[in-house]
């Protein structure tokens, strides 16, 4: 073996030894890291077990689930790049968010002045303040509630438009456990 190869091997071994020493547990009792327990990483979000197709009805002041159907197919997720001030939030029993689904209400007249007014026909476009749409929502065994929200311009907190117990959604979908 040539001396240059031996030198390279020595450098690599020394570097590897330093890496292993730095990655190993601390033996110093004065080290702050040794006295504090290691922080546990947050558990990964649960995986959706299929999805529900929800029939959602209402207006800008409130939305309700009137029917649900369980689908075994995987939830496709929120449409890429789509954002909305309206959303469906799926929460667990500790009110931790499991999923957030933006809602496309662009086909409806969601202005405050339109609530309760008859629909408007403008050319070939029909604008109604009454909302009726289908929403694909992920199905989680850990889901405790489904909450509809709207975020108004300049508002700090979202406006809650309705919260539905997951047991009700399962019943509507005949998804009996």
36-57 pLDDT, tens digit each: 566 766 666 677 889 999 999 9
Domain with 17, as residue range(s), is 3-35
Residues 137 and 165 in one domain: yes
Q: What is the pLDDT of residue 37?
A: 61
18-36 pLDDT, tens digit each: 444 444 454 444 544 555 5
Residues 15 and 69 in one domain: no
117-155 pLDDT, tens digit each: 998 898 998 889 999 999 999 999 999 999 999 998 887
Mean pLDDT of the chain: 82
Residues 73 and 17 in one domain: no
pLDDT, greater one: 116 or 34: 116
Count Cβ atoms below 10 Å from residue 22 Cβ, excluding itself: 8
**Does residue 43 sit within a domain?**
no
Count Cβ atoms below 10 Å from residue 166 Cβ, excluding itself: 21
Q: Is the pTM of this model over 0.85?
A: no
Q: 29-65 b/e with 16+ CB inside 10 Å = b?
A: eeeeeeeeeeeeeeeeeeebbebbebebebbbeebeb
pLDDT, greater one: 17 or 112: 112
Q: What is the pLDDT of residue 8?
A: 45
Residues 26 and 105 in one domain: no
Contact present, 150 and 60 (Cβ < 8 Å): yes
Residues 23 and 100 in one domain: no
Residues 20 and 56 in one domain: no
């Amino acid at each position: 073996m040539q001396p240059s190869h031996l030198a390279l091997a020595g450098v690599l071994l020394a570097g590897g030894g330093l890496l292993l020493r730095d990655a190993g547990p601390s033996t110093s009792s004065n080290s702050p890291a040794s006295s504090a327990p290691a922080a546990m990483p947050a558990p990964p979000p649960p995986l959706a077990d299929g999805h529900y197709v929800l029939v959602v009805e209402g207006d800008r002041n409130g939305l309700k689930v009137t029917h649900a159907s369980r689908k075994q197919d995987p939830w496709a997720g929120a449409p890429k790049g789509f954002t909305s001030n309206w959303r469906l939030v799926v929460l667990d029993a500790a009110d931790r968010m499991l999923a957030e689904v933006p809602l496309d209400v662009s086909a409806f007249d969601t202005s405050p002045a339109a609530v309760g007014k008859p629909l408007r026909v403008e050319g070939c476009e029909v604008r109604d303040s009454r909302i009726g749409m289908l929403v694909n929502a992920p199905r989680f065994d850990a889901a405790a509630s489904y909450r509809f929200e709207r975020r108004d311009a300049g508002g700090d907190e979202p406006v809650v438009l309705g919260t539905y117990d997951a047991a009700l959604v399962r019943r509507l979908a005949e998804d009996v456990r």
